Amino acid sequence: MSDLQALEKRLRILEDKDAITSLLNRYCNTADDRDWVSFGQCFTEDGVMCFENWGDVVGQEKITAAAGGAEDRFEGLQHSMTNQQVDVDGDEAACRCYLWFAATMDRSKPHEYHAFGGHYRFKFRRTAEGWRISQMQLKKMWAQNEDTEGVFNAYEVLRWNRTRKFRVRIKINELSSCTWLGQG
């Protein structure tokens, strides 16, 4: 490999890491903005999302509905990711990072909030549209104030669509663990 080829390879990896970091920021921002369609589009068509006890939620449509159903009860949301360790291998990548989440049911009472933190594990795939999440697992490590078990133990998610004023029920896989990453 020539020096130029080696430099191009290093540059490609840096550009890929930057694109993946931007994708993770979009993942958090779309959740905070309640833009569940854009949130779902962060995933591949066959993407897998797993919040601990839900088991695997597979596919953009189900991911979109499940995420919105779990978080629509909060009036204010803030998702923050830190310590992102991204490893790129060609058209696939992996990342481990930390989540710090806070939410309030009533923005006029910011002292009444729920918070938790945990470990994320992501797998990514390069697509024609750019990098997308192919698999995601979140393991909660701690919770503060009123616990957030409602987010993690939901077997049936009820989503309230504020603009159309209707409810949609979706059934979440009743497995009690994520199948693709195992324990950890």
**Residue 42 · residue 127 · CB < 8 Å:** no
User: Between the CA of residue 93 and those of 21, 60, 131, 134, what are the distances in Å?
Assistant: 11, 19, 9, 10
Instruction: For strands 92-104 and 57-58, give the pairing.
Output: unpaired
Please write the tens of the pLDDT for every residue from 121-135: 999 999 999 999 999
Question: Averaged over 23-32, what is the pLDDT?
Answer: 96
**Residue 159 · residue 170 · CB < 8 Å:** yes
pLDDT of residue 151: 53
Residue 154 pLDDT class (50, 70, 90 cuts): very low
Looking at the chain, list the stretches that DSSP marks H as alpha helix, in order from N- to C-terminal side.
3-32, 36-40, 60-71, 149-152
Residue-range domains of the chain with CATH: 3-44+72-150 (3.10.450.50)
SS3 22: helix
Give pTM, 2 decimals: 0.80
Apex 167 CA angle, 161 and 172, nearest 5: 105
